[in-house]
Structure 1
Amino acid sequence: MPYPDRYAYPDRFYPVVDSLDWVARLTKLGVGTIQLRSKNLDDAQSLQIVSDALEVTKGTPTKLVVNDYWRAAIVAGAKHLHLGQEDLVDADVKAIRDAGLTLGISTHDDAELETALRADPDYIALGPIFPTTLKSMRFAPQGIPKITEWKKRVGDIPLVAIGGIKFEQAREIFAAGADSIAVVSDITQHPDPDARVRAWLGRDAEAA
């Protein structure tokens, strides 16, 4: 599907956070798309946090994206899901689609891109663009030129760049072909997260 403006999905600024507190904070700041990525939860815990996060965003313009926990997303009535390649292997894509969920998928190399495209995703994420210290990565940094290459290959499917990206690099990332930038540490580890979010939202409006 085409990506006509900044109100499409996902928004151009796309923070990824691991707690309800962060979801609430970003929702209050008017962030349009937020991914909740909270790892190592059992079925009951994942259903609880997804349900609570949906309650936080209820009645706001914020779209909540559930990372990994597709069963909880379906049961809780979420609208948006993100899966890594490992998660995709075990997921029931038909059940996900039958529940009306959008589906974003992570990619790191050619084989993963082919796998993701077979699932007819609503967006493709490419990373890590730059080195990241948040988690051990078995893939080397992709670099900005890879964004342009990937965008040519995915066509109208929105492309999300992720991995070590800071606000100061946003213009170059968008110019390379990214439709959206997923941000983690540039928000969560910033000394003034609220100011940083406002800067990103201003960038979003300028870049649209």
Structure 2
Amino acid sequence: MIEKQLALYLVMGSQNCKHDPVETLEKAIQGGVTFFQFREKGGGSKIGEEKIELGLRLKEVCRQYDVPFIVNDDLELVSELDADGLHVGQKDGDMKKMKESLKSYQMLGVSTHNVNEALEAQKLGVDYIGVGPMFNTSTKDDIEEVNGPIVIKEIRERLPNIPLVGIGGIKHDNASQVIEAGADGVAVISDITQAQSVKDATERLVENAN
């Protein structure tokens, strides 16, 4: 069930990490991460062969622990890495074409910011919907207006069965608000990747999100 897999969703690239990214991912999974998105994007991120090589190493960790390995916004990279799926934003291209380009076993997740976008995504037959930003975040510079967990509640009322994950500024001390609003899980970046002890930080998130 994808709903259970979405419980704690780590979004990460090397540019987000305080420690080695492969080690960060492994410690995070050991701490309770259940879903992973490779998002190698922005200042300091790897490109070309280096990016592919890192992706393969991170995928290997996911395979070892039976955690889905999703690629952010790059259909070609999904193919090169034989990822478990693709995650796209609202401005990342034709979602219908992307869905058709994926193999039958590959998932499509879509970022949404309101009920209308969520309804459109559901019509496409996406596998899960990311909703955000929940809270203020410094990880993304193209941030939308923060509407908070109320948006999860509104979407859940209209789409009771769609798998939902909240994203944006989620930390151990506010994760429970997102789950209480109706999300199946929370997506996290810096609260895990910037932690001194990645495993401890992940365990604390798991504890507070339940």
TM-score, structure 1 as length reference: 0.82
- Quick check: 1:17–1:37 contact (8 Å CA) kept in 2? yes
How well do the aligned residues superpose, as a CA RMSD in angstroms? Answer: 2.5
Higher RCO, Cα 8 Å, sep 6+: 2
Deviation at 1:159, TM superposition (A): 0.9
Report which stretch shifted further, 137-146 or 159-168: 137-146
What is aligned with 2:121?
116
| Cα displacement string for residues 155-180 of structure 1 (whole angstroms, at most 9, x for unaligned residues) | 21111111111112222221111111
1:16 equivalent to 2:11? Answer yes
Residue identity matched to 1:17: M
Unaligned runs of 5+ in 2: 15-20
Within a 5 Å distance, the mapping from 1:148-167 to structure 2 comes to 148-167=153-172
Q: In structure 2, which of residues 186, 199, 205 is the aligned counterpart of residue 200 of structure 1?
A: 205
Unaligned runs of 5+ in 1: none
2-side partners of 1:109 and 1:145: how far apart?
10
Deviation at 1:44, TM superposition (A): 4.3
Q: In structure 1, which of residues 52, 55, 61 is the aligned counterpart of residue 57 of structure 2?
A: 52
What is aligned with 1:33?
35
Deviation at 1:32, TM superposition (A): 1.8
Change (3 A) 1:105 1:192: same
What is aligned with 1:93?
99
Corresponding residue pairs, total: 199
SS in 2 for 1:167: coil
What is aligned with 2:18?
none
Residue identity matched to 2:141: S
SS in 1 for 2:183: coil
- Quick check: 2:165–2:185 contact (8 Å CA) kept in 1? yes
Deviation at 1:47, TM superposition (A): 3.4
| Cα displacement string for residues 99-155 of structure 1 (whole angstroms, at most 9, x for unaligned residues) | 520111101234533442232111111110111112223521012222100111222
1-side partners of 2:70 and 2:2: how far apart?
20
Change (3 A) 1:87 1:168: same
- Quick check: 1:46–1:72 contact (8 Å CA) kept in 2? no
Q: In structure 2, which of residues 173, 179, 192 is the aligned counterpart of residue 168 of structure 1?
A: 173
